[in-house]
Amino acid sequence: GDLESTRPLTSFSPSFWGDHFLSVPVDHSEFEALEQEIESVMKPKVRKMLMSPHISDKERIRLIHLLISLCVAHYFESEIEEILHHAFEKLDHLISKEDDLEIIAIMFEVFRLYGHKMSCDVF
């Protein structure tokens, strides 16, 4: 039958918070300032970090993992895909003699997330 007609109804007591949070004013200028800061400060700095010749592929992959965790990786999709493409080509070298299970797990997660078929045999 119809799920809505057979579901028992329950009355909940009023919220302790009331409607306080429903009426919080939003200052759009703060969001615009934050967006401007992201565009002018954060993105160039992070892009420079990603493309720096002074960090290893493992450090780049760890940085990519952090960007994914912070939900800002979408700002750097083309750079990330290029980095992972080149890193995946030398995957055997990256994981040889690697005994840090955390970095292997991060590499596995990031490569798989971006469509690279990293074998689970690395574990």
* Separation of alpha carbons 79 and 72, rounded Å: 13
pLDDT mean across residues, the chain: 86
Under CATH, which number does the domain 29-122 receive?
1.50.10.130
Q: Is the pLDDT of residue 18 over 80?
A: no
Q: Is the pLDDT of residue 113 over 90?
A: yes
pTM for the full model?
Answer: 0.71
Amino acid, res. 10: T
Q: Which residues contact 38 (CB under 8 A, 6 or more apart)?
A: 75
Amino acid, res. 9: L
Q: How confident is the model at residue 23 (pLDDT cuts 50, 70, 90)?
A: low
Q: Is the pLDDT of residue 70 over 90?
A: yes
Every domain of the chain and the residues it spans = 29-122
Amino acid, res. 69: S
